Amino acid sequence: MDQLFTATIDEAAMLLEKKGEFFPFAFAMKQDGNITVYSAFDGNECPPSSEVISQLIEGLQQEAKKNKIIACAIAYEVNGSFGESTNSQSAICVALEHESSVPVTCFQPYELKESKYQGGNIVVQEGDSNVFV
């Protein structure tokens, strides 16, 4: 799961540095341990993040039912207070699921300073099972 989480955070950070934002995306770990990226596009140039996340979940559920993946991570941007901070911050949210583990949701608050990603302390909480149900 660490490898999957790291790949997801690294990709999101790279997209933030390059574009200042990103649409939700996912990584999934195959049975052989290889990690593959997943995205969703319905033809709409700027779909709401919630729709993209729903499409990603649907696609990953199909892969899980076929036993093609053993874990997945869905990344998206959120704003809120994380950890002990009371200030509203931007954060990368990574919803991690494994076929045989409790799902977790991780938040990494960040700042972009001169287009450079600076990640804060990661906050982890129990997540929801959306893919491996």
Instruction: Show pLDDT as tens, one digit a residue, over the chain (133 residues).
Output: 899 999 999 999 999 999 999 999 999 999 999 999 998 877 777 788 999 999 999 999 999 999 999 999 999 999 998 877 778 899 999 999 999 999 999 999 999 998 899 999 999 999 999 999 8
Question: In one letter, which amino acid is 10?
Answer: D
Specify the 3-state DSSP secondary structure of 19: helix
Compute the distance between CA of residue 89 and CA of residue 91 in angstroms, rounded to an integer.
6
Compute the distance between CA of residue 51 and CA of residue 61 in angstroms, rounded to an integer.
15
Q: State the sign of the Cα–Cα–Cα–Cα dihedral 37, 74, 79, 89.
A: negative
Compute the distance between CA of residue 39 and CA of residue 66 in angstroms, rounded to an integer.
19
> Please, which residues bridge with residue 99 across strands?
none
Instruction: Say if CB 104 and CB 124 are below 8 A apart.
Output: yes
Identify the DSSP state of 67: T
What confidence score (pLDDT) does residue 30 get?
Answer: 96
